[in-house]
Structure 1
Amino acid sequence: MTDLRIRAAVPADLDSVLAFWKTAAEGTSISDDRAGVERLVARDPGALLLAERGGELVGTVIAGFDGWRCHLYRLAVHPERRRQGIASALLAAAEERFVRLGGRRADAMVLVRNETAHHAWRAAGYGPEEHWRRWVKPLTD
């Protein structure tokens, strides 16, 4: 897999990333728009990691660190490129980033209904914490 390149996204990548997520990501988020991803890249330029093979976007992960916790979002691999080690490479890059920043533990947002993702996350060493529940409140309409 030496031809896989992982790099941080830049503003010129954002339209491609949003289109990619429509094909490769499960579910949507309130922040899945140009303005939301622009804010992410502007605030934390190294957080959105892209995996490319032959110049083609084949995977993404958001590795956000707020100084307290390490959060993983939007781990997505193109459906035709799955089971080739791309997600593992993205997670390794995200975890290396967290360690460099002083992070101690990573958590991931994983949809309950996405059983395929559950297998991938478990294989990467992650597990659910059943005693926690995510509580949310939209701040905009």
Structure 2
Amino acid sequence: MTELRIRAAGPEDLDTVLAFWKTAAEGTSISDDRDGVERLVARDPEALILAERNGELVGTVIAGFDGWRCHLYRLAVHPDHRRRGIGTALLAAAEERFTALGGRRGDAMVLRDNERAHHAWRAAGYGPQEQWVRWVKPLTD
């Protein structure tokens, strides 16, 4: 098996990433469109991290840092490539990024009904904080 390549996404990757999320990500987000992902990469060029094998996109994670907290979104691994350490490699890259930026705690957005993801996040050392409730308001329709 060839080596896994971890790198930041560039503008040329965005259409591929959006198509990938339709296959690999559980559920969709209001910002799963080209404009939303373009804004992310323009604002923070290192935030969208890709995993590739043989030039094929096999995983993604968004590692956002707002100067206060570290936020993880869109950890997704292609169904044909799961359970091969790709998610672990992506989280390690995200956590290295956070440490370099001075981050001290990370949180992850995980769909309530995605039990597979809950197991993966727990295995990576993350856990729910029952005392917190996340309140969300979409700012667009």
Large movers: runs of 4+ above 3 Å: none
**Aligned AA (1:48):** L
Secondary structure at 2:92's aligned position in 1?
helix
Letter aligned with residue 43 of structure 2 = R
Aligned-residue offset at 1:140: 1.5
State the partner residue of 2:6.
6
Corresponding residue number in structure 1 for 2:72: 72
If the length of structure 1 is used for normalisation, what is the TM-score? 0.98
Residue aligning to 2:58? 58
Equivalent residue for 2:125? 125
| Corresponding residue for residue 111 of structure 1 | 111
Determine what percentage of the aligned residue pairs are the same residue: 84
User: Following the alignment from structure 1 to structure 2, what is the Cα–Cα distance between the partners of residues 57 and 47?
Assistant: 16
Alpha-carbon distance, 1:133 to partner: 1.1
Shift of 1:2: 6.3
1:35 equivalent to 2:8? Answer no
Amino acid at match of 1:63: A
Q: Which runs of 5+ in 2 are unaligned?
A: none
Deviation per CA, 1:74-124: give whole Å up to 9, x if none.
000000000000000000000000000000011000111000001100110
CA–CA distance in 1 between the matches of 2:93 and 2:2?
A: 14
On the 8 A contact 2:77/2:87 being kept in 1, the answer is: yes
Where does residue 23 of structure 2 map in the other structure? 23
Q: Which runs of 5+ in 1 are unaligned?
A: none
CA contact (8 A) 2:2 2:53 kept: no
Equivalent residues in 2 for 1:76-87, closer than 5 Å: 76-87=76-87
Q: In the alignment, is the contact (CA less than 8 A) between 2:24 and 2:77 conserved in 1? A: yes
Post-superposition CA distance 1:2-36 (Å, at most 9, x none) = 60000000000000000000000011111000000
Q: Distance in 2 between matches of 1:3 and 1:139?
A: 41
RMSD across aligned positions (CA): 0.9
Number of residue equivalences? 141
Structure 2 equivalent of residue 92 of structure 1: 92
Structure 2 CA distance, aligned partners of 1:139 and 1:20?
Answer: 25
What is the deviation of 1:136? 1.1
Between the aligned partners of 1:139 and 1:50, the Cα distance in structure 2 is: 27
